[in-house]
Chain A
Amino acid sequence: MIASYVVQRLFQLVPVLFLVSIGIFLIIQLIPGDPVMVMLGATPETSGNINRQQYEELRHQLGFDQPLPIRYLNWVSKVVRGDLGMSLKSRRPVLETLLERYPATIFLAITALIGAVIVAVPAGIIAAVRQNTWVDYLAMGFSLWGVAMPNFWLALMLIVLFSINLGWLPSIGYTSPLVQPVDFLRHAFMPAIVLGASTSAHLTRYLRAEMLEQLSQDYVRAARARGLPPLVVIVKHAAKNSLLAVVTVVGLQTARLLGGSAIVETIFSWPGVASLLLEGIYARDYPIVQGAVLILALTYVFINLVVDVAYKFLDPRVRLE
């Protein structure tokens, strides 16, 4: 049942991936001016100084002398075979660079997400159960703060506190959790808080609202009428159904995590894909930009697939439309 559901969901990904690939492909095509000129590092003023022959060669090499659809197909067929081109700056294959830096981004996002969930689930549930008490106000106040806080500012404040004043945590650097888990956590602590704060805040609010909704449902009243202990009614009955809604939000929040990592990775010198993307943009290294966007988009799509399958596990009523 689940297996066939996964297969069906995978088929649904085809059009999504098609649109994603078109978007990424067009990034290069939509650069103002002539992309070949841009790649040669020429500005409109200096374009006259470019060697005509060199220009034509690069144009041909990059396939820009062919029509757009043909170029797209060429590009896609290469991407599918794992060929994302060469970095213009480092002259290394893009895929190699991406694979090098991808784990750091993923480990950070997972750490941030786990942290966010650990905080948000109890906070959301307790805020709902104790609605309109100081606990609720405290949780809601914090979550408002978490949503409103600019993450670069939070990052700087954490660095001032933990690295400069207390000297407890390193403000930059990364070690793989697979090699040195403790050291990884020391390095990931602040970036994960910065990255996860607003996700956690959103989750808390969603979960609280959903819990309030579920707690007013007939089955909750019926469960209480059967004499079930409050913890069973709240956690086993109401929270399970509330988590359904929240699981979906977690999937959507990965966009926030991946997008937010651009700033966080830069501030904490975290060697991930998002900081690679920024470096690529600064250096006008378009193959890198394409590759980084592609891998982030694939991650997002994949996580949402996982979320949909998880949803299926949690809610027996979900069926394919």
Chain B
Amino acid sequence: MPLLEVDGLEVQFFTPRGVVKAVDGVSFKLEKGQTLGIVGETGSGKSVTAFSILRLVSNPGRITGGSIRFEGQDLLTMRDRDVRRIRGREISMVFQEVMTSLNPSYTVGEQMREVLRVHLGQSGQQARKSALDLLTRVRVPGPETILDRYPHQLSGGMRQRVMIGIAIACQPKLLIADEPTTALDTTIQAQILDLLEDMRQQLGMAMIFISHDLGVVARVSERIAVMYAGRIVEMGDKYEVFDSSLHPYTIGLMDAIPRPGSRHKPLQPIRGAIPNLLHLPSGCPFHTRCPRAEARCAVETPELLQWKTAHWAACHFAGDLRSVVAPLADPVT
């Protein structure tokens, strides 16, 4: 039984201007201890997918279809009380908003002890000791002093360490990291990524790592899912997805990244812009920007199909894509 099984997830936002399909039929599986990286542009539905797993999609958004099974139990039909027992204990989350995800009015220690109290029933000296252990574990210097500090007295990197500390407090089975390094300096980014990877290995957690940054995702994930306009358009083993991309969108993303040794090859931006989610194009949502698009792409929506052992893609031409756009997709290495 997989640890997490998302099947046909649909999330819609009921805005005054119309219904936005933020997530449209997303399915994936995650085994114990595995890492899945979700890549996509802003608005591709990657964060909404993550929030759906904890059932934290807020108004005007609503999960309108599909199922999310965690250790075989459907999180979407579960009672609120039972979901709360899973949040922060079995499944934890680390957020992009490092500056604002801790309550400014409480000390770091209080916000750590709170989780230990609610989920593990710890209090007093015991909770304090656990909090100290956690801070040491996430390599916060001088944990005793940090415990009594308020969030505004800490740097962004330090706050993210504290947040990771809170997230692993109950040794969860799954850690969802939603752009955990985006708001940080590059040097701090690397440290946080290393820390996340170490924690994952020490605790044997599975991890869903969400980022718009292909390089960051590649660094921490074994498997990659590429999202576009609320759908997974390509998914598979990291090397498969990066080195032999099957979907024109992924190929476009790869060509937009500067790489060592590719100085003479101009960067190729993907033409056009992300479609308005209120009025998605018919058929394949990418067809308006796709160099490979044909008439059927505007009519038929391609399904996410398996093309190789560990490689799925949602493109009508995934089978013959590589030969057609070979010049663009030439592996740089």
What is A's interface to B at a CB cutoff of 8 Å?
217-219, 221-229, 232, 237, 240-241, 244, 314-317
Q: Which residues of A lie under 8 Å from residue B115 when comparing CB positions?
A: 226-228
Known interface pairs A225-B54, A226-B115. Does A218 touch B105 (Cβ–Cβ under 8 Å)? no
Known interface pairs A227-B119, A228-B118. Does A222 touch B150 (Cβ–Cβ under 8 Å)? no
Known interface pairs A229-B84, A229-B118, A316-B152. Does A224 touch B56 (Cβ–Cβ under 8 Å)? yes
Roughly how many angstroms separate A218 CA and B94 CA in the complex, as a whole number? Answer: 11
Binds A, one of B96-104, B121-129, B247-255: B96-104
A317 pairs with B150, CB closer than 8 A = yes
B101 pairs with A222, CB closer than 8 A = yes
Roughly how many angstroms separate A67 CA and B150 CA in the complex, as a whole number? Answer: 56
Roughly how many angstroms separate A225 CA and B177 CA in the complex, as a whole number? Answer: 12
Q: Which residues of A lie under 8 Å from residue B97 when comparing CB positions?
A: 218
Q: Which residues of A lie under 8 Å from residue B56 when comparing CB positions?
A: 221, 224-225
Interface residues of B in 63-116 (CB under 8 A from A): 84-89, 92-93, 95, 97, 100-105, 114-115
**Residue in contact with B166 in the complex, picked from A217, A226, A240, CB distance below 8 Å:** A226
Roughly how many angstroms separate A228 CA and B95 CA in the complex, as a whole number? Answer: 16
- Taking residues whose C-beta sits less than 8 angstroms from the other chain, chain B's interface range is 20 to 34
Shortest distance from the beta carbon of B160 to any chain A beta carbon, whole Å: 12
Q: Which residues of A lie under 8 Å from residue B118 when comparing CB positions?
A: 226-229, 232
Shortest distance from the beta carbon of A243 to any chain B beta carbon, whole Å: 10
CB pairs A–B below 8 angstroms (11 shown): A219-B103, A219-B104, A221-B58, A225-B95, A226-B114, A226-B166, A227-B85, A227-B115, A228-B114, A316-B150, A317-B150
**Residue in contact with A218 in the complex, picked from B54, B88, B101, CB distance below 8 Å:** B101
Roughly how many angstroms separate A174 CA and B105 CA in the complex, as a whole number? Answer: 42
In this complex, what residue of A is CB-closest to B149? A316
B105 pairs with A314, CB closer than 8 A = yes
B105 pairs with A227, CB closer than 8 A = no
Among all A-B residue pairs, the 8 with the closest Cβ atoms = A227-B87, A227-B88, A226-B88, A218-B100, A222-B101, A218-B97, A219-B103, A225-B93
A316 pairs with B88, CB closer than 8 A = no
In this complex, what residue of A is CB-closest to B153? A316
Interface of A is mostly: helix
**Residue in contact with B95 in the complex, picked from A222, A229, A237, A314, CB distance below 8 Å:** A222
B271-314 CB mask vs A (1 if < 8 Å, else 0) is 00000000000000000000000000000000000000000000
Additional 20 contacts, C-beta under 8 A, given A219-B103, A228-B88? A218-B97, A218-B100, A219-B102, A221-B56, A221-B101, A222-B93, A222-B95, A222-B163, A225-B56, A225-B92, A226-B88, A226-B114, A226-B115, A226-B166, A227-B115, A228-B114, A228-B115, A232-B114, A315-B104, A316-B152
Q: Which residues of B lie under 8 Å from residue A227 when comparing CB positions?
A: 84-89, 115, 118-119
Q: Which residues of B lie under 8 Å from residue A222 when comparing CB positions?
A: 93, 95, 101-102, 163
In this complex, what residue of A is CB-closest to B151? A219
Known interface pairs A218-B95, A225-B93. Does A317 touch B100 (Cβ–Cβ under 8 Å)? no
In this complex, what residue of B is CB-closest to A316? B150
In this complex, what residue of B is CB-closest to A241? B105
In this complex, what residue of A is CB-closest to B163? A222
In this complex, what residue of B is CB-closest to A214? B103
Interface residues of B in 222-273 (CB under 8 A from A): none
A219 pairs with B152, CB closer than 8 A = no
B95 pairs with A315, CB closer than 8 A = no
**Residue in contact with A237 in the complex, picked from B103, B119, B166, CB distance below 8 Å:** B103
Q: Which residues of B lie under 8 Å from residue A224 when comparing CB positions?
A: 56, 87
Roughly how many angstroms separate A63 CA and B294 CA in the complex, as a whole number? Answer: 99
Shortest distance from the beta carbon of B131 to any chain A beta carbon, whole Å: 14
Roughly how many angstroms separate A225 CA and B94 CA in the complex, as a whole number? Answer: 9
In this complex, what residue of B is CB-closest to A220? B103
B122-162 CB mask vs A (1 if < 8 Å, else 0) is 00000000000000000000000000001010000000000
Roughly how many angstroms separate A227 CA and B116 CA in the complex, as a whole number? Answer: 11
Roughly how many angstroms separate A241 CA and B102 CA in the complex, as a whole number? Answer: 12
Q: Which residues of A lie under 8 Å from residue B166 when comparing CB positions?
A: 226
Q: Which residues of B lie under 8 Å from residue A244 when comparing CB positions?
A: 105
Most central of A218, A222, A225 by chain B CB within 10 Å: A225
In this complex, what residue of A is CB-closest to B98? A218
Q: Which residues of B lie under 8 Å from residue A225 when comparing CB positions?
A: 54, 56, 87-88, 92-93, 95
B24-67 CB mask vs A (1 if < 8 Å, else 0) is 00000000000000000000000000000010101000000000
B103 pairs with A223, CB closer than 8 A = yes
Shortest distance from the beta carbon of A78 to any chain B beta carbon, whole Å: 46
A219 pairs with B119, CB closer than 8 A = no
